[in-house]
Amino acid sequence: MSFRFHVAHSTPLGKIRSSSTHQQHHKHILAKRCGSTSSNSVSVKSRAGELDSVIMAGASSVRVAVAQMTSINDLAANFATSSRLVKEAASAGAKLLCLPENFSYVGDKDGDSLKVAETLDGPIMQGYCSLARESRVWLSLGGFQEKGSDDAHLCNTHVLVDDAGNIRSTYRKMHLFDVDIPGGRSYKESSFTEAGKDIVAVDSPVGRLGPTVCYDLRFPELYQQLRFQHEAQVLLVPSAFTKVTGQAHWEILLRARAIETQCYVIAAAQAGKHNDKRESYGDSLIIDPWGTVIGRLPDRLSTGIAVADIDFSLIDSVRAKMPIAKHRKSIDFWKSASL
């Protein structure tokens, strides 16, 4: 198995605002969040100190890493690969590493995942929490097989772990992959997976994160909510896209989500053949708010990481120059609009 490492840097769009203005802007947002409450349908987890510590240090950018790997039906082997990638990310100065959907396990056949599903305080997830703590890196663990409400179901859960090894937030995949792939196999994720119901946003040292999972990518309403209702700055899309759908739509959809929300998008991907029946597209990407790919591995089949910098000033600049938040119409407007 080959391991690759790639570094990329974002280039701001035109003239960006000064560091002092940037600091005041984000302190205002953090103060606003700390006094807010969440509705039943939205989980908002905020700790002002995370992002504020970066701002107080005068940093206008923070490094992140995205992983690409080929998980198999071997928990120990996948953990060993993940451990190596976490250490690479830490050595590169990344504050967050994003691993792909099904990072810990990909079964040979449907239903195998149920056999390894466990609670978040079980040994599998706690092993990854230890990785985060030992390397002092936040981890985006998207698509963990969390035990469901009964033995016949699991939750496809995106877990965010901080650099002290604490689970900071969880998002359970809303949109389940029940699809007949053209020229390929049929998938019925809902046969063994419970759909999530809550939108989640959480502050971190690399900005305000909006976690999603794979097939969610095809539903822009979720990302619109994360940006405009919950002030996300970085959207996370860990995935295991099929080869057919990935070739057709992967990069296009990711860049569209970045452009229409003016957020960074970090999309960690499974890559290559997991077994005789399953193959993933690959192509892990980091995309800036202007829709430019600023981080990607040299090829779609390699195992490794790519890194790039989250530039808070670029987020502010893009949003100020193209003020779509100000111009967008409300849901009530569209309901009342004549057809």
**pLDDT tens digits for range 41-68:** 333 344 445 555 444 345 689 999 999 9
Q: Tell me: pLDDT of 82 over 50.
A: yes
What pLDDT does 310 receive? 97
How far does CA 331 lie from the centroid of its chain? 26
Long-range CB contacts for residues 35-42, cutoff 8 Å, separation at least 24: 41/197, 41/198, 41/199, 42/198, 42/199, 42/200, 42/201, 42/229, 42/230
**pLDDT averaged over the chain?**
85
Residue 165 placed within a domain: yes
Instruction: Mark whether 173 is an active-site residue.
Output: yes
Residue 6 lies in a domain: no
- Pick from 193, 198, 205, 199: which is nearest to 161 by CA? 205
Residue 264, token pair as written in the block:
């960074």
- Alpha-helical (H) ranges within the chain are 19-34, 48-56, 75-91, 112-116, 123-135, 220-224, 243-261, 312-321, 324-327, 331-336
Q: Write down the catalytic residue from 155, 214, 231, 243.
A: 214
17: pLDDT confidence band, cut at 50, 70 and 90?
Answer: very low
Q: Are 236 and 216 in contact (CB under 8 A)?
A: no
Interval 206-210 mean pLDDT: 98
Q: Is there a domain that residue 41 lies in?
A: no
Question: Which residue among the candidates 173, 194, 231, 279 is catalytic per the annotation?
Answer: 173
**Count of the separate structural domains present in the chain:** 1
Q: What is the CATH number of the domain that holds 201?
A: 3.60.110.10
What pLDDT score was predicted for residue 110? Answer: 74
Q: 210 lies in a domain?
A: yes
pLDDT single digits (tens) 171-185:
999 988 878 877 777
Range 321-328 average pLDDT:
94
Q: Is the pLDDT of residue 210 over 90?
A: yes
Identify whether 101 is a catalytic site residue.
yes
Residue 108 placed within a domain? yes
Rounded CA-CA distance 204/38 in Å is: 18
Q: pLDDT at position 44, please?
A: 38
22-31: average pLDDT:
39
pTM of the model: 0.84
Mean of the pLDDT values across residues 207-220?
A: 96
Residue 300 has pLDDT above 80, yes or no: yes
- Residue 105: inside a domain, yes or no? yes
Q: Is the pLDDT of residue 37 over 80?
A: no
Q: Which of 24-33, 64-73, 117-126, 270-279 has the lowest mean pLDDT?
A: 24-33
Q: Indicate whether 338 belongs to any domain.
A: no
Q: What is the pLDDT of residue 46?
A: 42
Q: Is residue 252 part of a domain?
A: yes
Q: Is 251 annotated in the active site?
A: no
Kindly name the residue from 101, 194, 231, 279 that is annotated as catalytic.
101
Residue 231 has pLDDT above 50, yes or no: yes
Domain hosting 113: range is 61-326
Taking residues 5-11, report their average pLDDT.
44
